[in-house]
Every structure is written in structure tokens, then in C-alpha cells.
Amino acid sequence: MAAASGAVVAALVLAARALDRLPARTALVAAWALLPLQLTVLAWLARSEPAGTRMLVLVAGTFVAMKAVVLQAHRADGGRPLALGPWLWFTLPWSGMNPRLFAAARRGANARAGAVELARRGLRNTIAGVVLVGLAVWSGTAWAAPVLMVGLSLVVHFGLFTLLAALLRARGLPVRVLFDAPHRSHSLREFWAQRWNRGFSEMTALAVHRPLASRLGRRRAVWMSFLASGLLHEIAISLPVGAGFGLPTCYFVLQGLLVARERAAPGQLATLLWVVVPLPLVFHPWFVRGTILPLLG
């Protein structure tokens, strides 16, 4: 299964690059078609694997498919295709979704500012996450699941992703850290647009919000962006365990409604409560039992 899934993901990468040869609008339609195609193939290949393995396989395929979408949305917006080197950095290791930052013309000494500080932050977060993961595994109880999830997030989202941002900054690419102190958010709009998983906000802005805003209006386009986020989380969370369908979507639809109705910044505490209290809709019991608890032994 691993070899076959790897071959499918590799084929997706090649297909994503080949789309640059097509007219921009045609390529964008073809890029969107890659999403259900890879889901069908990878879900079938991983059908007998543990839920955690299915999750990793589906996330990898969806990641590459959405890279293809934003690259072609960038072209449809008038952007030029990326050269091979920046294209590889953008498509494979980087989790951000803004191709414009990888255009050669954007490079420069100013982009390198802050690389050392980002490296320190990423290393600090990685160490803290490793400690929490170790404590959770050492405990070995179901009650340690939240600690394990926070530890894994610190290692991956706040650690490795920040270290990669530091590396790209050092190479002269003006990327921004993807997970930037979300606890400091004073509003849900700030949390989702600027501080939590900037890659998702970049992706929905380019592939969903901009194309729909002129047709549906800005508020409805915001709702559709959050709906798209919910559906993608269904792929990563509900589909691997075959249960809990609709709950992640409910969470993101709720967040979209709250953002659309937000008139003033409610403050840090209220913002975090609105984000955290409904989180069991995303990380529902079936996901926790299928992918998190097995890590605890």
C-alpha cells in the first residue's frame, strides 16, 4: 500500500506541474478535478490500513491537490507560473498557499529579516512539544489525549513549520509564519485570517473567496470559505475513521457565521472560548479513538 500510495502522490505532483502548460482557466478546472480523483484512489488503496495511516495518506494527497488548485488560481488571477526551484519549495515542503511569495521578483535582503528569531521560536516550540508528547506517552492513559494533541501541534504546526519558515526566509523568500501566537488574537477574524494556519486562509482566499465574492457578495463568500475548510477537515478527520461526518463542517460553518456577524473585537478570552469550546465537533470521539489513542499504547 505504501508504495502504491507514494506513486499516486508522486503522480499528483507531476500532474500539478504539467498543468502549467495548459491555458489558465482550463488548468484551474483540471486542478479541481484532481481533488475527488485522488481521494477516490487513495481511499481505496488505504481502505484496510489503520485510521492513522489512512489519515496521513489522504492528507498528503489532498495537500498536493490543493497546491495544484492555488497555483492555477494564481495563474487565472494573472500571475506567472513559478520557476521549477521555487515551485518545488512551494509545492512540497511549504504548507502555505500563496504562490506569489515564491516569485523570484519578491526575493531580497528584506525578506531575510527575522530568520534567526523564527528559528529560535521554532526550536523552542519543538522542544516544548516533544516534552508534552513524551509526558502523554509515558502516562499512557486516555486522559492524556489532549496533552498529546497539543504536543503534536507544538512539534508540527508551531515547531517544524516555523523552522521551515526560517529556512525559506534565510533563502530570501518573504514567507510569513503560519501559526503566529493565536492566543493573542482579539477577534475571530484576526484568529482565522492572521494567526491560525495562515495557509488555510491563503488557500480559501485565492481558491474560494475571490472567485465567489463578486458573484455572491463578500459575506456569503466568507461563509463559503469556512464551508470549504470544513469539507477539507472532513477529509482529514472524519473520512479516515469512517465516522463523525458533518461535525467538522458544523464547527467551521459556526465559525464562519460568527466571523460574518462580528462587529467589534470581543477580546482575547472571548475569542479563545469561541474557538476552543466547540472543538469536540472537529476532534470528535471517533477521530480521537481511531487516531490519537492508539499512539498512547
Q: What digits encode the pLDDT tens for the residues 3-26?
A: 898 899 999 999 999 999 999 999
User: Which cell numbers hold the place of 194?
Assistant: 492572521
Confidence tier at 117 by pLDDT (50, 70, 90): very high
pTM to 2 decimals?
A: 0.91
Burial class (CB in 10 A: 0-12, 13-18, 19+), 14: exposed
- Residue 220 has phi, psi (to 5 degrees) of -65, -35
**pLDDT digit string, tens, across residues 209-228:** 888 888 888 888 888 999 99
Rounded to the nearest 10°, the torsion over CA 293, 294, 296, 297 is 140
Q: Could you tell me if 90 and 99 are in contact, meaning their C-beta atoms sit under 8 angstroms apart?
A: yes
**pLDDT digit string, tens, across residues 189-206:** 999 999 999 998 999 888
pLDDT of residue 250: 97
pLDDT of residue 19: 96
**Residues 254-268, mean pLDDT to the nearest whole number:** 88
Mean pLDDT taken over the chain: 92
Is 180 strand, coil or helix? coil
CA-closest candidate to residue 149, choices 164, 135, 163: 135
Q: Could you tell me if 103 and 80 are in contact, meaning their C-beta atoms sit under 8 angstroms apart?
A: yes
**Residues 120-139, mean pLDDT to the nearest whole number:** 96
Could you tell me if residue 172 is left (phi over 0), alpha (psi between -120 and 50 degrees) or otherwise beta?
Answer: left
User: Which cell numbers hold the place of 5?
Assistant: 500510495
- Count other C-beta atoms under 10 Å from residue 44's C-beta: 10
pLDDT of residue 104: 62
User: Which cell numbers hold the place of 124?
Assistant: 523552542
pLDDT of residue 276: 96
**Residues 39-57, mean pLDDT to the nearest whole number:** 94
